[in-house]
Amino acid sequence: MTPTQTLLHGSLQAYIFLALLLFVIGLATVLIRRSLLMQFMGIELMLNAANLALLAFARYRGGDVQGTVFYLFIIAVAACEAAVGLALVVALFRHKQTTDSDRADALKQ
């Protein structure tokens, strides 16, 4: 197969490339969107891109089981992060009636 064909049918390079694209979209969401909830979703997307790269590497190392164990721990930590992060957003909303990250600037004044 030619290099283009292996890319289109999924080689390690193609998986890493896709993970990279997802990561960049997540990063753009965090940097450009203003709503804290959108930024939160961008973080989840970046985490997911990292997971995709991890599991792709684990598979091309001959189906390494350690990769899946790591994935398990990563999603456990992601669940904790989601709970605490959303609690922070709710607490901010109680305090300032906003979920806009530009308006949460009390530390700057």
Partner 1 sequence: MFLIFALISLLGALMMFRMRNLIMAGLSLVLCFTGVAGLFLLLANPVAAALQIIVYAGAILVLVLFVIMLLASHEEEPSEKPRGIQRWASALTVALLGASAFGLVMRSPLLASVPDSKVDPMTLQRLGVLLFKEHLLAFEITGLLLLAAMIAAVSLVKREL
Q: d(Cα 94, Cα 75) in Å, to the nearest integer?
A: 28
Smallest gap from residue 106 Cβ to partner 1 (A): 14
List all residues 6 or more positions away from 102 whose beta carbon is below 8 Å from its beta carbon: 34
Tell me: does residue 39 bind partner 1 (CB under 8 A): no
Tell me: does residue 104 bind partner 1 (CB under 8 A): no
* Distance of alpha carbon 20 from the chain centroid: 11
Tell me: does residue 38 bind partner 1 (CB under 8 A): yes
Smallest gap from residue 109 Cβ to partner 1 (A): 14
Of the two residues 62 and 109, which places its CB atom closer to partner 1 in the complex? 62
Q: What is the largest CA-CA distance in the chain?
A: 61
Q: x/- binding map, residues 43-72, to partner 1, per CB under 8 A?
A: -xx--x--xx--xx-xxx-xx-xx-xx-xx
Residue type for position 66:
Q
